[in-house]
Structure 1
Amino acid sequence: MKLTVNGTTHDVDVEPEMPLLWVLRDELGITGPKYGCGIAQCGACTVHVDGEAVRSCQLEVGDVEGQITTIEGLGTPAALHAVQDAWIEHQVAQCGYCQSGQIMAAASFLISTPAPTDEEIDDAMSANLCRCGTYPRIRAAVKTAAAKLNGA
């Protein structure tokens, strides 16, 4: 089957029931999405399919329709996405394990909610777990990213 990941089309020879996470990591060598829980509860495996945040650990590759974007395709070191830039500005990461999923969830959220309130941010981001507890920094970074994306 063919998958387009971060703008590149790949031919993969896997069973259609294989979780997208394992195709990305094991077949394509894309390691930004992490295995956290395997039951779509923690968010470490979050990627975008056509801009929508999805949990790749439970999404069967045979069910994927659309362009897949991982943290590796969100921005580049020379041109960070506004969310990545805000994450650095607010020093969100501690251990860093959940951060690619957090960033991907935030980027997708800001597409549909360009000027979020604290409550909207907390609600949207509550589905992504951070064992280090950087939630106040996450909220601040999402607000900063929203401002950057809105030209402020």
Structure 2
Amino acid sequence: MHEQPTHAATGAVAAPPPVGPVRLIINGTAHEVELAPWTTLLDALREYMQLTGTKKGCDHGQCGACTVLVNGKRINSCLTLAVMHEGDDITTIEGLGTVEALHPLQQAFVDHDAFQCGYCTPGQICSAQGLLNEGKAHTEDEIREMMSGNLCRCGAYVGILAAVKEVVDKGEKVK
């Protein structure tokens, strides 16, 4: 039999955590999920939507492994609450390409051997797509600066830079 937790001093029954429906548009599909208001977007994606491509690295916004696109702009999903993005267009790595048809950035990462362990790669690619959406980075120095929020613990930065630069140089508006 399941017992309700009680407060040790008073014996009062603890209230269940508040949850409510949150409507999230992820990779072009609307989802309604019951979430506590303090659930991060990262945890909503990974734990409730089973979209595990977005990685939990530091959980403090310092590594960029959790980068996703919200309305085309890159954000650290560990630093924002899911309820703040009701109705926003959220794109994860799963929404950028398929196994049969890789996104141009995904193909460039393969072509330039821009990953080793691959843990940071989804965040790197989402950040690079955000960089393309912003249209601000054209030189290698600008790309390095704009991608500096995404860390690669394996040190694959040479390949990452080459991959992003290739897609930037093609001048395509990729989505």
TM-score range for the pair, normalised by the shorter chain length: over 0.9
Aligned mates of 1:148, 1:75 — CA distance in 2: 18
Aligned to 1:95: 117
Distance verdict in 2 for CA 1:56–1:115, change over 3 Å: closer
Aligned to 2:81: 60
SS at match of 1:121: helix
Give structure 1 stretches of 5+ with no counterpart: none
Tell me by how many angstroms 1:24 deviates.
Answer: 0.5
SS at match of 2:79: coil
**What TM-score, normalized by structure 1, do the two folds share?**
0.94
**Aligned ranges 1:78-117 → 2 under 5 Å:** 78-113=100-135, 116-117=138-139
| Structure of greater Rg | 2
Aligned to 1:137: 159
Q: Counterpart of 2:26 in structure 1: which amino acid?
A: V
SS at match of 1:30: coil
Aligned to 1:124: 146
Asked if the contact 1:92/1:138 (under 8 Å) is kept, the reply is yes
Tell me by how many angstroms 1:110 deviates.
Answer: 1.2
Q: Percent identity?
A: 48
Give structure 2 stretches of 5+ with no counterpart: 1-21
Q: Deviations over 1:63-95 (max 9, x none)?
A: 114111000001122222211111011011100
**What TM-score, normalized by structure 2, do the two folds share?**
0.82
Aligned mates of 2:75, 2:62 — CA distance in 1: 11
Aligned mates of 1:38, 1:115 — CA distance in 2: 27
Aligned mates of 1:73, 1:148 — CA distance in 2: 21
Q: Counterpart of 2:111 in structure 1: which amino acid?
A: E
Aligned mates of 1:95, 1:107 — CA distance in 2: 21
Higher relative contact order (CA 8 A, sep 6+): 1
Asked if the contact 1:48/1:70 (under 8 Å) is kept, the reply is yes
Tell me by how many angstroms 1:122 deviates.
Answer: 0.6
Q: Deviations over 1:36-64 (max 9, x none)?
A: 00111100000000110011111101111
Aligned mates of 2:106, 2:147 — CA distance in 1: 15
SS at match of 1:126: coil
Aligned to 2:95: 73
Tell me by how many angstroms 1:149 deviates.
Answer: 4.2
Distance verdict in 2 for CA 1:150–1:115, change over 3 Å: farther
Q: Which moved more, 1:72-81 or 1:88-97?
A: 72-81
Tell me by how many angstroms 1:147 deviates.
Answer: 2.7
What's the Cα RMSD here?
1.4
Distance verdict in 2 for CA 1:149–1:72, change over 3 Å: farther
